Chain A
Amino acid sequence: MSDWITLTPRLALDGPIALSVHPERYAELAEHDIAALPAIGRDREQLPLGEMFTVKGGRSTRVRLEGATPHLHSVGAGMLWGELVVDGDLGSYAGAGIRGGTMHVRGTVGDAAGLAMMGGALRIDGDAGDRLGANIPGAAKGMSGGEIIVRGSAGADAGARLRRGLIVVSGDLLRDGGRSMIAGSIVVLGRCGENAGRGNKRGSIVACGGITVPATYRYATTYQPPHVRVTLTYLRRQYGLAIDQALIAASYRRYCGDAGEPGKGEILERVI
């Protein structure tokens, strides 16, 4: 039994690869058993993990993927529990459908990271692409649990049809964030892009760095929402985000919407 299982590319990763990494499956497996698992999807073939990666360690649910590149897709998708740390950047579908455990990407991720996530935590130190924590195209519900923490910025359509859970973007969020969100929360420490919260039913968008509130939201009041205070305090303590006391104690304008829906959603715009 080893503390960490380390996966290192044996050769240059120069084409798209769907890499299946499931820390929960490695708990009882020795090094050579892990290497023999079919885990690499390439050119319509399913290859064993050891074909392209050196595996070190076994019988652990803590996995470190070294030398990651944007050619690697679907890493961590469907993870149930355990811990996955990725050194480098990833392509699309990183952490899609995670049910539990923690995945920490020490780099950027492509589109659809945390897609339809159900639980656990996905931490991204760099930027994220479009459709962060969104729904599978055509699905009625998007993310239904867990937490996505992006230290950089995120692309368009983040949190589309969000049902439950928390998406935090430390940088800016591009357009259409929280589109048709059902519930859950999106916290943007930077600037929130256009058309945020369109079709929002009961979800919360907390805009700390500015937002153009859609005309279909109605102003309610200016106050200090206690749950924002708890959320920001939690993010600072749990994830070490650089959130100062002034932000935690700030006042917010509450807008209720979206008018075309039940109108129980909200945009909380920080008063600067």
Chain B
Amino acid sequence: MLIEDTFAEAFGMRAARLVITAKNEKWAREAALKLTGFATSVIACKCEAAIERELTPADTPDGRPGVSVLLFTMDSDGLGKRLIERIGQTVLTCPTTACFDGLPDLPDRVQSGRPIRTFGDKFQISKMLGGRRYWRVPVMEGEFLLAESFGMQRKAIAGGNFLILADTADAALEAAEAAVEAIKGMEGVILPFPGGIVRSGSKVGARGYKGMIASTNDAYCPTLRPLTTSALPDGVNSVLEIVLDGLDVAGITRAMRAGIDAACRPGVRQISAGNYGGKLGPYLFHLRQVMEGA
């Protein structure tokens, strides 16, 4: 097994953590799944989001089961807008839910709960508790409770990644699934793609089409081996990517280490990473340095 001497290149983002609670795990998860739907990449989804972990009643402000969600955007303005859209359309509408701020100690805030309160058509009620303001929005079911503001992590990171180069598509998928399982539930990190796995890693821009932001990463496409400058060693017939977004460098490093460690299994020839020569983002995760603590 070869860990290639390369690095994953990540870039800065803004992030918020939402804590969604409900009568039971089922409804908290229903809301979280809807909220994080179509949020794989900022390229087309305007944000990246996923479930961070499930929370026990002891972890939530109202003592009910919950789910924490991380949502990432390119800028502060976008973060506020995405939260308004997504909370308003998915959590407000979901039976029994309430929505809390999962980063209450951060000084930078986005006031996303404030616009949502207007759904209450001036019947909404404000409540202060522990120095934080909540809004009670009357709905047909009863009341929807949400935080007025959400903490914004200014130095969040998106685009942490590693590539699993395997003999076969089955081996690549098994290794990627093992990596996702190892990372799942780690605090401060999400895997925004379907099942945490990306099969269509991209390069910046396009060879044949002007104006494309991203196109297929042909250097890692096995079917293009003779047609392009391939980065694939002999015997590699399938590549899958794990993309990680996190609240800080330490979290992503920890998660990459756990994921790579789990992915190193029979059928996997090499672990590599996606980068753009250091031109895209300021955060470089050198694979061999990441694995030094393993």
Instruction: State how many angstroms separate the Cβ of A199 from the closest Cβ of chain B.
Output: 18
Whole-angstrom CA separation of A226 from B62 in the bound complex: 8
Docked-complex contact A204 and B142, CB < 8 angstroms: no
Whole-angstrom CA separation of A166 from B62 in the bound complex: 17
Query: CB within 8 A of B143: which of A164, A184, A226?
Result: A226
Query: CB within 8 A of A185: which of B62, B64, B127, B144?
Result: B127
Chain A residue numbers with a CB within 8 Å of B130 are 147, 234, 238
Per-position 1/0 for B43-72, Cβ under 8 A of A: 000000000000000000111100000000
Q: Is B250 interfacial (CB 8 A cutoff)?
A: no
Chain A interface size range = 20 to 34
Chain A residue numbers with a CB within 8 Å of B144 are 226
Chain B residue numbers with a CB within 8 Å of A164 are 128
Query: CB within 8 A of B129: which of A224, A230, A248?
Result: A230
Chain A residue numbers with a CB within 8 Å of B61 are 230, 233-234
Q: Is B117 interfacial (CB 8 A cutoff)?
A: no
Docked-complex contact A229 and B143, CB < 8 angstroms: no
Per-position 1/0 for B126-140, Cβ under 8 A of A: 111110001010000
Instruction: State how many angstroms separate the Cβ of B103 from the closest Cβ of chain A.
Output: 17
Interface centre among A184, A231, A245 (most CB of B within 10 A): A231
Q: Is B98 interfacial (CB 8 A cutoff)?
A: yes
A165-202 contacts to B (CB < 8 Å): 165-166, 183-185, 202
Whole-angstrom CA separation of A231 from B145 in the bound complex: 12
Docked-complex contact A233 and B63, CB < 8 angstroms: yes
Whole-angstrom CA separation of A221 from B139 in the bound complex: 13
Contacts A226-B98, A230-B62 hold; do A264 and B145 have CB atoms under 8 A apart?
A: no
Docked-complex contact A229 and B142, CB < 8 angstroms: no
Chain B residue numbers with a CB within 8 Å of A234 are 61, 129-130
Q: Is B125 interfacial (CB 8 A cutoff)?
A: yes
Instruction: State how many angstroms separate the Cβ of B31 from the closest Cβ of chain A.
Output: 14
Docked-complex contact A230 and B134, CB < 8 angstroms: yes
Docked-complex contact B142 and A227, CB < 8 angstroms: no
Chain A residue numbers with a CB within 8 Å of B136 are 225-227
Whole-angstrom CA separation of A264 from B129 in the bound complex: 19
Residue of B nearest to A165 (CB): B128
Query: CB within 8 A of A202: which of B125, B128, B142?
Result: B125
Q: Is A110 interfacial (CB 8 A cutoff)?
A: no
Docked-complex contact A223 and B142, CB < 8 angstroms: yes
Whole-angstrom CA separation of A229 from B129 in the bound complex: 12
Q: Is A257 interfacial (CB 8 A cutoff)?
A: no
Per-position 1/0 for A240-272, Cβ under 8 A of B: 000001001000000000000000100000000
Per-position 1/0 for A19-42, Cβ under 8 A of B: 000000000000000000000000
Give me 17 other A-B pairs in contact (C-beta within 8 A), A184-B128, A227-B136, A248-B63 excluded.
A145-B128, A183-B126, A204-B125, A204-B127, A221-B142, A223-B143, A225-B142, A225-B143, A226-B143, A227-B129, A227-B145, A229-B64, A230-B61, A230-B129, A231-B127, A231-B129, A233-B63
- In the complex, 9 of the A-B residue pairs with CB atoms within 8 angstroms, ordered by the A residue number, are A147-B130, A165-B128, A183-B126, A226-B136, A226-B143, A226-B144, A230-B98, A238-B130, A245-B63
Chain A residue numbers with a CB within 8 Å of B98 are 226, 230
B126-185 contacts to A (CB < 8 Å): 126-130, 134, 136, 142-145
Whole-angstrom CA separation of A251 from B145 in the bound complex: 16
A127-162 contacts to B (CB < 8 Å): 145, 147
Instruction: State how many angstroms separate the Cβ of A135 from the closest Cβ of chain B.
Output: 18
Whole-angstrom CA separation of A54 from B126 in the bound complex: 46
Residue of A nearest to B122 (CB): A264
Query: CB within 8 A of A166: which of B64, B128, B142?
Result: B128
Whole-angstrom CA separation of A166 from B130 in the bound complex: 9
Question: 6 nearest interchain CB pairs?
Answer: A226-B145, A233-B63, A230-B62, A223-B142, A229-B62, A226-B98
Instruction: State how many angstroms separate the Cβ of B15 from the closest Cβ of chain A.
Output: 24
Chain A residue numbers with a CB within 8 Å of B64 are 229
Interface centre among A185, A227, A234 (most CB of B within 10 A): A227
Whole-angstrom CA separation of A164 from B128 in the bound complex: 8
Docked-complex contact A227 and B143, CB < 8 angstroms: yes
Whole-angstrom CA separation of A165 from B125 in the bound complex: 14
B226-266 contacts to A (CB < 8 Å): none
